[in-house]
Amino acid sequence: MSSYLDLTTLRNVVVVALIAGLGITLLFSVAVRALVTADEHPDVAAGQRLIAVGCLLVVLAGVAVGLWAVLAK
Amino acid sequence: MHDATLLFIVVITALTFDFTNGFHDTANAMATSIATGALKPKAAVALSAVLNLAGAFLSVKVAATIASGIVASTAITLPIVFAGLLGAIVWNLLTWSLGLPSSSSHALIGGVIGATMVSAGTSAVHGHSIVAKVVVPAVLSPIIAGLVALLATKLAYRVAQPDERPKSHRYFRYGQLASASLVSLAHGTNDAQKTMGVITLALIADHRLGAKADPPAWVIIACAVAIAAGTYLGGWRVIRTMGHRLTHIEPPQGFTAQTAAAAVLLTATQGGLPLSTTHITSGAVLGSGAGRAGSKIRWRVAGSMVVAWVLTLPAAALVAAGIGLVVDGGGSVQVIIVAAIACLALLGVWRWSHRNPVTAENVNDYSDPDLALRELARPVQQKVG
């Protein structure tokens, strides 16, 4: 099997894909939860929207770095 | 043999393959967005077409990827490239007419292998490379994507709690736009490049370009336009399968499936692991189905899809080998005759598919047979209760 596949590369792909996929999902889900909370409870809306914007900015930065890494190769 | 005529036919055939690749694989990026209502069908394919067009211009480093390492480059001739491309087009249209998502790249690789075997024998085919570059990734890619999507779906449902907070669906639909766009961009970068590579290979085989030359500008533009046009036409049958027939998709699942697909696709591209976009997105859709409590995967449809995956390479190889037997060593006349017959046959498949048309208007009109049975059973249960 190992002669047919670079197992180190495979392990790296699995680990990075897991971190990227789960990381983006986690941050986006936190942002969604914060936005829904902001909609439902206007008294805490500003803080919740700030959390959402922070999470989305981190997601955007992560995606931008990922795309840059792939395209610059 | 008039090489210019032959080369012209090969280029047109390659662009036709690129076009079929576009409409066959639109589902990869947009099926879940269309299924969950994040985007109107026409708007989804238009967005995907623009991003495929843009993706095709982002990199020109994949020339000859398809052929290099798979078959001996000395065995490549224009009729062989033609036969390989035609084999791939035939398989793409057949699977499209059945609504089965299958890998266009594997069809192309199968076509090249089949045609080369007929022309130069089995020794010209690099078996080890085929297992390493095609077979092993084909098995692993849906598993990796499915695993990432499964865990991501569980995470999204635990953190955002969309079942208790239906308002969150609206925000996940916005997220779907971004993740689906990323998959479209990656698809344009990967798949348009493969056709560019094939045309470049044909130009090299015809001594119009030096060995190791980059694709000329007209090749890049033509391939980008062909894949974008195919994408805009929309492979509605495959979109329906990916969006409705495999499992019922909710917006959070659509988001996690596309995010997982984009993460695996881009990471694999960075790691130099050749994976199929179709296999990755299909695996991600199944994973997102398995990740939501109460969601049901239609294993029969998934099984048909896997059978199509297994058959793709040998079937395209067989068709290409048959075509290769006719055109190898012959002149452009044979190639023109075969191209004309193929046009008629493919027109026949197209017309046959229109007996039961799936369009932008009815792509989401899919009645879940299980749901229909439950609806039928409900009055009986109420009476009994």
B105, pLDDT greater than 60: yes
Task: Choose between B301 and B331: higher pLDDT.
Answer: B301
For testing the chain A interface, which of B141, B185, B266 should be mutated: the one with the most A CBs within 10 Å?
Answer: B266
Please judge whether B171 and A20 are an interchain contact, meaning their C-beta atoms are less than 8 angstroms apart: no
Other beta carbons within 10 angstroms of residue B135's beta carbon come to 15
Rounded to whole angstroms, how far apart are CA atoms B175 and B172? 5
Chain A (2-21) residues lying within 8 Å, Cβ to Cβ, of chain B? 3-6, 9-10, 12-14, 16-18, 20-21
Res B254: pLDDT? 92
Instruction: Give the highest mean pLDDT range of A23-32, B76-85, B172-181.
Output: A23-32
B156 in Cβ contact with B252 (< 8 Å): yes
Rounded to whole angstroms, how far apart are CA atoms B1 and B330? 8
For testing the chain B interface, which of A12, A28, A30 should be mutated: the one with the most B CBs within 10 Å?
Answer: A28
From the list B149, B151, B270, the residue facing A73 with the nearest CB is B270
Chain A (42-71) residues lying within 8 Å, Cβ to Cβ, of chain B? 63, 66-67, 69-71
Rounded to whole angstroms, how far apart are CA atoms B5 and B131? 35
Reduced to 3 states (helix: H, G, I; strand: E, B; else coil), residue B147 is helix
Task: Choose between B252 and B204: higher pLDDT.
Answer: B252
Please judge whether B152 and A39 are an interchain contact, meaning their C-beta atoms are less than 8 angstroms apart: no
Residues of A whose CB is below 8 A from B156: 25, 28-29
pLDDT tens for each residue of B14-50: 999 999 988 888 777 888 888 888 889 999 999 989 9
A:B CB pairs within 8 Å:
118
Instruction: Give the highest mean pLDDT range of B70-79, B164-173, B262-271, B358-367.
Output: B164-173
B81 in Cβ contact with B202 (< 8 Å): yes
A22 interfacial to chain B (CB closer than 8 Å)? yes
Rounded to whole angstroms, how far apart are CA atoms B231 and B227? 6
What region does B211 belong to: left with phi over 0, alpha with psi -120 to 50, or beta?
A: beta
Distance from CA of A40 to the nearest CA of B (A): 9
Rounded to whole angstroms, how far apart are CA atoms B172 and B244? 18
Q: pLDDT tier at B130 (50, 70, 90 boundaries)? A: confident
Query: pLDDT above 90 covers what percent of chain B?
Result: 29
Please judge whether B259 and A28 are an interchain contact, meaning their C-beta atoms are less than 8 angstroms apart: yes
**ipTM (interface pTM):** 0.92
Tell me the β-bridge partners of B125: B71
B264 in Cβ contact with B280 (< 8 Å): yes
For testing the chain B interface, which of A27, A29, A30 should be mutated: the one with the most B CBs within 10 Å?
Answer: A29
B382, pLDDT greater than 70: no
Backbone angles phi and psi of B297, in degrees to 5 = -95, 135
Rounded to whole angstroms, how far apart are CA atoms B262 and B254? 12
Quote the pTM value.
Answer: 0.84
| Cα four-point dihedral sign B285, B183, B66, B337 | positive
B152, pLDDT greater than 60: yes
Please judge whether A14 and B189 are an interchain contact, meaning their C-beta atoms are less than 8 angstroms apart: no
Across chain B, mean pLDDT equals 84
A3, pLDDT greater than 80: no
Burial (CB count <10 Å: 0-12, 13-18, 19+), residue B92: buried
